[in-house]
């Protein structure tokens, strides 16, 4: 008998259900007796013993469904050692619930913060296998995360829709794409949607360069400009501030986000009308695209194979078009950022895309 625990932690994204289904299908088709316990709302369920025994039918019909049938929540790694409700020791509680159910392995689906805690549990002696989910595609050790392509498709469609109205009114339009620390989503959606200017957290921008790019388009006969801005985009001036100084500046800022600040400065320097569109959490929602359904299913199946072989302490990743196992200690605490010197950035610049640098 194989007893497996499963939880989804952190921000929501598409194909979580597809990935869990992949694990379950692999286990059920192995010929072994299997029990799968789902912990409700991520690590919170593991801490407070909120779980349910899942049945075969629970994994039926979920391949195409977005969200997660187990629910999710954020349990910050920096607070994991602090007492929880009623003074509970969170780490000890997770271990006790793992042992109480006599689990052979815990399958954890999540992003950066989730993997830090997963690695901590591995260090505490639990058998862990993880799957890389995040729309940001910023997990170290894998070329791709599930949820990313679905989010790219949604953000791209938003930019596509903006094109027609921007052209009709001859305006500058800013589309703010998710991504506080890294710009993979904004970069890919911006290129796919034909954005003229793309602003990323990794490449601090100069507002004058943005204005120059807009004027150049106008001089060449273009009536409009599309700017894709990552949530975490930052100006060259602000990039020189310490984290503490920048945080204070944001607290006092009259703008709800960086996109509105960029819009205000463009209007101030050019007198041109600027509109901001924020697709927000729509980028996390809806059904997973076909790519993510296949990709998440493959990762899930490979996770099931690792469990059947008794190989624990790994994230199932994707490198050079192959599914690979990556040691958790190599993943935890590392961020996969967009390098300003990356080939995709150079190629985007060849296409005439401005990054404000």
What does the pLDDT profile of the chain (357 residues) look like in tens digits? 999 999 999 989 999 999 999 999 999 999 889 999 999 999 999 999 999 999 999 999 999 999 999 999 888 888 888 888 888 999 999 999 999 999 999 999 999 999 999 999 999 999 999 999 999 999 999 999 999 999 999 999 999 999 888 877 778 999 999 999 999 999 999 999 999 999 999 999 999 999 999 999 988 888 899 999 999 999 999 999 888 888 888 888 899 999 999 999 999 999 888 999 999 999 999 999 999 999 999 999 999 999 999 999 999 999 999 999 999 999 998 999 999 999 999 999 999 999 999
Give the distance, in angstroms, between the CA of residue 210 and the centroid of all CA atoms in the same chain.
Answer: 27
**Among residues 48, 123, 120, 52, which one has the least CA distance to residue 80?**
120
CATH of domain 152-284: 3.40.50.460
Strands 128-132 and 172-177: unpaired
The boundaries of every CATH 3.40.50.460 domain in the chain are 152-284
In this structure, are residues 344 and 184 in contact, taking their beta carbons and an 8 Å threshold?
A: no
pTM listed for this prediction: 0.94
Predicted confidence at residue 86, as pLDDT, reads 83
* Rounded alpha-carbon distances, angstroms, from residue 24 to 169, 210, 310, 346: 51, 49, 16, 42
Catalytic residue among 58, 136, 196, 292: 136
Report how far residue 82's alpha carbon sits from residue 152's, in angstroms, rounded to the nearest whole number: 36
Report how far residue 271's alpha carbon sits from residue 302's, in angstroms, rounded to the nearest whole number: 56
How big, in percent rounded to 5, are the helix, strand and coil portions of the chain?
Answer: 45, 20, 35
Fold of domain 2-147+288-331: Rossmann fold (3.40.50)
Report how far residue 269's alpha carbon sits from residue 259's, in angstroms, rounded to the nearest whole number: 15
In this structure, are residues 144 and 137 in contact, taking their beta carbons and an 8 Å threshold?
A: yes
Is 212 assigned a catalytic role?
Answer: no
* Residues whose CB is less than 8 angstroms from the CB of residue 172 and which lie 6 or more positions away in sequence, other chains included: 166, 214, 224, 225, 227, 263, 266, 272, 273, 274, 275
In this structure, are residues 96 and 22 in contact, taking their beta carbons and an 8 Å threshold?
A: no
In this structure, are residues 44 and 85 in contact, taking their beta carbons and an 8 Å threshold?
A: no
The boundaries of every CATH 3.40.50.450 domain in the chain are 2-147+288-331
């Amino acid at each position: 008998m194989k007893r497996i625990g499963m939880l989804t932690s952190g921000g929501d994204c598409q194909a979580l259900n597809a990935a869990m289904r992949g694990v379950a299908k692999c286990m059920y088709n192995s010929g072994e007796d299997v029990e799968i316990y789902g912990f409700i709302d991520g690590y919170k369920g593991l801490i407070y013993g909120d779980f349910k025994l899942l049945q075969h039918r629970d994994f039926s019909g979920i391949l195409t469904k977005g969200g997660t049938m187990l629910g999710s929540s954020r349990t910050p790694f920096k607070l994991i050692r602090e007492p929880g409700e009623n003074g509970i020791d969170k780490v000890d509680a997770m271990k006790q619930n793992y042992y109480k159910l006599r689990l052979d392995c815990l399958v954890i689906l999540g992003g950066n913060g989730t993997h830090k805690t997963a690695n901590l549990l591995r260090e505490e002696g639990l058998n862990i296998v993880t799957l890389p989910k995040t729309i940001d595609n910023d997990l170290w050790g894998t070329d791709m995360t599930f949820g990313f392509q679905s989010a790219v498709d949604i953000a791209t469609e938003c930019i596509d829709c903006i094109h027609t109205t921007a052209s009709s009114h001859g305006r500058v339009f800013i589309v703010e794409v998710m991504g506080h620390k890294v710009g993979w989503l904004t970069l890919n959606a911006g290129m796919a949607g034909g954005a003229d200017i793309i602003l990323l957290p990794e490449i601090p921008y100069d507002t004058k360069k943005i204005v120059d790019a807009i004027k150049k388009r106008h001089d060449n006969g273009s009536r409009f400009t599309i700017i894709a801005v990552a949530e975490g985009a930052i100006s060259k001036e602000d990039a020189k501030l310490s984290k503490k100084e920048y945080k204070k500046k944001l607290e006092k800022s009259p703008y709800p986000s960086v996109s509105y600040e960029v819009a205000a400065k463009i209007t101030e320097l050019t007198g041109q009308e600027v509109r901001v569109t924020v697709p927000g959490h729509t980028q996390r929602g809806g059904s997973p695209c076909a790519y993510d359904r296949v990709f998440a299913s493959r990762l899930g199946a490979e996770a099931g194979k690792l469990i059947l072989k008794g190989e624990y302490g790994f994230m199932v990743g994707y490198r050079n078009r192959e599914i690979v196992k990556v040691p958790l200690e190599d993943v935890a605490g590392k961020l996969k950022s967009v390098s300003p010197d990356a080939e995709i950035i150079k190629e985007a610049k060849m296409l005439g895309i401005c990054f404000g640098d």
